[in-house]
Structure 1
Amino acid sequence: MFFFVSGYCQKIPIIGYMGVPEQNISVDNYKVMKDAGFSISLMNFSNLNNAINALDTAQKAGIQLILFFPQLHSEPQINIPKIKNHPALYGYFIGDEPFPSDFNNFLKYIDIIKTYDDSHKFYINLNPMYAPKERFDGVNYEDYISQAINKLPFSFVSFDHYPLVGNKIRKEFYENLEIINRQSQKYNKPFWAFACSTIHFDYLKPELAGLKLQQFGNLVYGAQGLQYFTYWTMTSDPNWIKDNYSYSIVDDKGQPTSTYNIVKIINEQVQRLAWVFAGAKSDAVFHTGNNIPAGTKKLTSLPKHFSSFSTKGQDALIAYMSNGAKEFIIIQNKSLSQDLNLTYKLNFSLEKVENKSGKITTLFSKRKYNDIILPGDILIFVREK
């Protein structure tokens, strides 16, 4: 028995960090971005006129902007009134990967903007857990996040963590998500998280399984916005070239790379499942397998509603989420290369979400089931509370 979910209009914001550059502003370039499932382009501009041109052009393609240009600092009383009512303005870029010693300056800047526009969002992206210790001014990582949330009136907690280095998962990835989720819930602030979508340093060419592992991992830990670094292949500075930035979602002329179709597939899947994740709370996350990440919890008992449950010893993530009157049990395959063979029986009837089509199938108690979860992908069970 199956049916389709209908009547849901929630969307997950999807952000292209380093979106369309000012020298490449065109309706066509923003439409290419929109067609890949993006709703927001984050980019800095050199002056007011270029920012307004980008806002006007993005609006025609259905994209909004998070932006900065120098005159926002130097002459906010003149420049902010000229853009604050633009329908394509999503918010203001305040800063990236700040030290705690930067917080006071950021706060002053936000207060100035709020004098002229208190209706838009403020974007600050925080450091990942693996950043050099000196970036935290002597405090531990969780205190750094807590101080940032307490000090800065940003609209959501954004942080970057690129977990796939040399095709292996950083040991801090899931602990970082645990901390962000914990602090997000403590202070009732939603959080946005990243996937690395470009070659640079030791980060390899983006692949489907790796991007799914990142973005669905973010979602099951409660992320309410997904970001990609970068959207555009950046070659405007010698450092970008030196660090071998390549295979971003589009190239340095705005043409889709092989990464584009991968990201489009994932973004479409995310929005089909937005009724699950938008506004959801991540209640608990457990891990299975031989390698339980530091700072996380091992699954030591059967998941709720299951009379038997086996991942055959493979690494998996089991998340309990709630959203309105519904509760979800979500299984993610943490392998980048191997399918996960999940076998189980239920104590109670549950519904299973087929995440590619949106089809929902009713599963019955006492019957044995077997499902294959592809690398990085998820399987969702749902029932009314």
Structure 2
Amino acid sequence: MKRVRINTLLLCCAATLLGAGILGAQPKLPQKEIPILAWYGIPADEATVERFQELKDAGFTLNFRGYSNADEVVKALDAAQKVGVKIIAACPELRNDTEATVKRFMKHPALAGYFLRDEPLSSDFPALGEWARKVQAVDDKHFCYLNLFPNGGKEHLDALGVQSYREYVSRFDREVPMQFLSFDHYPITYDGMKPEWYENLEEFSDESKKAGKDFWAFAMATKHWKYPHPTLATLRLQMFSDLAYGAQGLQYFTYWTPVNSEGFDYEFGPIGLDGRRTVAYDLVRQVNGEIKALSGVFAGAKVKWVRHTGKTIPRGTQRLTKLPEPVDVLETEGLGAVISLLENDGRTFLVIVNRDYQQPMRLIFSADPSVKRILKDGSIVSAGDYTPAMNVDPGDVAIYMW
């Protein structure tokens, strides 16, 4: 009996010491909420508590899906509320009977905001601005949501009705009152990475900063058209690059696999056409888990600067030529990296993203003994505990803090 009591006492003491960090348990960054949106989410005929729990289990906090009528939206709101997921409402009544529909939804605990439309031309801005103001006159507590086109060449800009992509974003901000800005850009195709993607992140993040607003960005999670099956590396690269540029909301296109139309041949979204999970569900869940563990780095962070390394750097970006003061050595091999300096809650974070989604990147990093390394689970350790040379997996991230 005495031996049992002694062993119990030892276990209790060990648990106490671990909790206090005395026996080697590492401190962790506090977790914050980063909105993660399932675009083309749960359909009306599947809007059950079980389906919303499944969505939440994959790391999503928001569901967006166009519904046929306001009653379907309310049904989805009721189910989502039971598991703590929120809904961006979208239905014809929101356009046709704005005031009454907003009043119907606005007090529901599961409401996040109101969807207006996707990818407008500049000629659409005046009417969208009027619609947004009508919504906000009734409910200024929930956001209006609208997603902008990506950048592109002259033909694309002509179709948008602007001379430059910056004009497109800045005009939208002036004419349509939104709480944050959002754009889509799916950079990885069967032919490789689009050369204009990082230029798009540069311009959109800068225009958002000028507007004094957060921005949200995307990752492609569903195979279709010229876009291949997502991999762990391609999802990481898109999400960690978005975060390195300061994105404060993340979105996946899509969650539920759309029915094939217009020759796009959608398949293998996280939830397949038959309503069952695909491999992409597990990949998205893993990446979202990593983002949640690292949310203390990114949620609420302010970008000081973003630079790039490599023999060649992406179009429209700037090369890293000067290291921040505590860093003695930062060298990358292979394709190169995104290097972002963030400030958050009085701390400085150096974020290094491997731009190669096919090959690991050799990183050599050395810094002042005060510099910490943030592990993928959010643990804080001394950077000096690790050798200067390491491999960063394809599309993955290494993070340091001081």
Same fold? TM cut 0.5: yes
Are 2:285 and 1:261 equivalent residues in the alignment?
A: no
Deviation at 1:9, TM superposition (A): 4.2
Are 2:379 and 1:359 equivalent residues in the alignment?
A: yes
Task: Output the amino acid matched with 1:222.
Answer: G
Deviation at 1:313, TM superposition (A): 4.9
Q: Distance in 2 between matches of 1:177 and 1:69?
A: 31
Q: Distance in 2 between matches of 1:334 and 1:314?
A: 7
Q: Distance in 2 between matches of 1:342 and 1:9?
A: 27
Are 2:401 and 1:382 equivalent residues in the alignment?
A: yes
Deviation at 1:316, TM superposition (A): 1.0
> Which whole-Å deviations, capped at 9, do the CAs of 1:41-74 have from their partners, x for residues lacking one?
0111111111111111111122111121111222
Deviation at 1:205, TM superposition (A): 0.5
Q: Distance in 2 between matches of 1:199 and 1:153?
A: 33
In the alignment, what sits opposite 1:283?
Answer: 304
Deviation at 1:139, TM superposition (A): 2.3
Identity %: 36
In the alignment, what sits opposite 2:329?
Answer: 308
- Structure 2: stretches of 5+ with no match in the other structure: 1-23
Per the normalisation by structure 1, the TM-score is: 0.94
In the alignment, what sits opposite 2:120?
Answer: 98
Are 2:258 and 1:234 equivalent residues in the alignment?
A: yes
Displacement over 4 Å in runs of 4+: none
Are 2:28 and 1:5 equivalent residues in the alignment?
A: yes
Q: Distance in 2 between matches of 1:372 and 1:179?
A: 30
Give the alignment partner of residue 392 of structure 2, picking from 356, 365, 373: 373
Deviation at 1:167, TM superposition (A): 5.7
Q: Distance in 2 between matches of 1:120 and 1:225?
A: 15
Q: Distance in 1 between matches of 2:99 and 2:215?
A: 30
In the alignment, what sits opposite 1:212?
Answer: 236
Q: Distance in 2 between matches of 1:83 and 1:34?
A: 22
Relative to structure 1, the CA distance from residue 184 to residue 288 in structure 2 (aligned partners, 3 Å threshold; closer, same or farther) is: same
In the alignment, what sits opposite 1:138?
Answer: 162
In the alignment, what sits opposite 1:155?
Answer: 179
Relative to structure 1, the CA distance from residue 137 to residue 364 in structure 2 (aligned partners, 3 Å threshold; closer, same or farther) is: same
Task: Output the amino acid matched with 1:211.
Answer: L
Deviation at 1:135, TM superposition (A): 3.2
SS of the residue aligned with 2:65?
Answer: strand
In the alignment, what sits opposite 2:319?
Answer: 298
> Which whole-Å deviations, capped at 9, do the CAs of 1:130-155 have from their partners, x for residues lacking one?
27223320320011111111221111
Asked if structure 1 preserves the Cα contact closer than 8 Å seen for 2:31 and 2:294, the reply is no
> Which whole-Å deviations, capped at 9, do the CAs of 1:173-223 have from their partners, x for residues lacking one?
111001111111111100000001111110000100001000000000000
Relative to structure 1, the CA distance from residue 24 to residue 253 in structure 2 (aligned partners, 3 Å threshold; closer, same or farther) is: farther
Asked if structure 2 preserves the Cα contact closer than 8 Å seen for 1:48 and 1:69, the reply is yes
- Structure with the higher strand share, 1 or 2: 1
Asked if structure 2 preserves the Cα contact closer than 8 Å seen for 1:167 and 1:204, the reply is no
Relative to structure 1, the CA distance from residue 82 to residue 344 in structure 2 (aligned partners, 3 Å threshold; closer, same or farther) is: closer
Asked if structure 2 preserves the Cα contact closer than 8 Å seen for 1:234 and 1:252, the reply is yes
Q: Distance in 2 between matches of 1:61 and 1:44?
A: 20
- Structure 1: stretches of 5+ with no match in the other structure: none
Relative to structure 1, the CA distance from residue 263 to residue 111 in structure 2 (aligned partners, 3 Å threshold; closer, same or farther) is: same
Q: Distance in 2 between matches of 1:3 and 1:12?
A: 23
Q: Distance in 2 between matches of 1:347 and 1:10?
A: 28
SS of the residue aligned with 1:335?
Answer: coil
Alignment coverage as a number of residue pairs: 377
Relative to structure 1, the CA distance from residue 306 to residue 76 in structure 2 (aligned partners, 3 Å threshold; closer, same or farther) is: closer
Q: Distance in 1 between matches of 2:325 and 2:230?
A: 35
Asked if structure 2 preserves the Cα contact closer than 8 Å seen for 1:306 and 1:348, the reply is no
Per the normalisation by structure 2, the TM-score is: 0.90
Q: Distance in 2 between matches of 1:273 and 1:382?
A: 12
SS of the residue aligned with 1:375?
Answer: coil
Asked if structure 2 preserves the Cα contact closer than 8 Å seen for 1:2 and 1:361, the reply is no
Give the alignment partner of residue 88 of structure 1, picking from 81, 101, 110: 110
Asked if structure 2 preserves the Cα contact closer than 8 Å seen for 1:2 and 1:359, the reply is no
